[in-house]
Amino acid sequence: MNWLLVVAGAVVGAPLRYLTDRAVQSRHDSVFPWGTFLVNVTGSFILGLLTGVASTSVGILVGTGLCGALTTYSTFSYETLKLYEGGARAYAAANVAGSTAAGLGAVWLGVELTHLL
């Protein structure tokens, strides 16, 4: 039955990812993929918060289902490649460095907040 929890979380996470990406990108006149950056950092933070405080069922529902559908390594990779191929090499490098640093920082912050609770 765990697979139903994954599906339920993904039913929320996938549209949330798409709608967030479209809303963020429509507000920025930049080739930088801010929408993907935001959903990936947000998902990292949520996973950090779940660490050690969530039951197995909540971890499967929110961690695997919602965050799995919300975050996107494949889109991050594709958008980075397109930036590079399009000549925006500085943006491509900033996307890799910034996404990695912000994602690690967000998951760390989430974990640290759970220790305070």
Task: Say what the alpha-carbon torsion angle 19, 22, 23, 29 is, to the nearest 10 degrees.
Answer: 170
Q: Say whether 71 counts as a known binding-site residue.
A: yes
Distances (CA, A) of 116 to 46, 49, 87: 15, 11, 45
Radius of gyration of the chain (CA): 15
Q: Say whether 68 counts as a known binding-site residue.
A: yes
Residue ranges of the binding site: 68, 71
Residue ranges of the binding site for Na(+): 68, 71
